[in-house]
Amino acid sequence: MIMKMGAGDEDDQEPPKKILKFRNYAPKDEQLKEKKVEKVKPIDAAEGLSEHLEKAKDVKDIEEVNIATLAPRKPDWDLKRDVAKKLDKLEKRTQKAIIELIRDRLKGEENLADAVNTVGDN
């Protein structure tokens, strides 16, 4: 015995009746004229729109568009920024090393000149 659940419930309930509403159709029958819906006046959108436009103008004046912020950056801009301090230190050390090498070379030339002078004096 297979019983359908709710089979008895479906018979008891009637589908809801549809209500006729005539929005664009003008019925000629007197009974149907009662079902005609009055025309609805559209709301005045100009009032609300003008308020939004005024608010938008204020925001636009405050936030000036900066072309530099809109331009795309190079993909490695952040790497260059992070390495800049380290490169400055390295540049200073390189300059000190070059100066020290030049001083050593000059001392070597002075020693060579002294050696030539001492040989010439003999």
Number of domains composing the chain: 1
Domain assignment present for residue 82? The answer is: yes
Residue 22 dihedral angles phi and psi, to the nearest 5°: -100, 110
Q: What is the rounded average pLDDT for all residues in the chain?
A: 78
Q: Which domain holds residue 86?
A: 77-108
Domain assignment present for residue 94? The answer is: yes
Domain assignment present for residue 98? The answer is: yes
Domain assignment present for residue 89? The answer is: yes
Residue 67 CB coordination number (10 Å) = 6
**What gap in Å lies between CA 86 and CA 78, rounded to an integer?**
14
Please state the rounded mean pLDDT for residues 5-34: 75
For the segment 29-60, what is each residue's pLDDT rounded down to a tens digit? 888 888 888 888 877 777 778 888 877 776 55
Domain assignment present for residue 7? The answer is: no
Domain assignment present for residue 59? The answer is: no
Domain assignment present for residue 28? The answer is: no
**What gap in Å lies between CA 84 and CA 77, rounded to an integer?**
11
Say which residues have a Cβ less than 8 Å from residue 104's Cβ, sequence separation at least 6: none
Domain assignment present for residue 47? The answer is: no
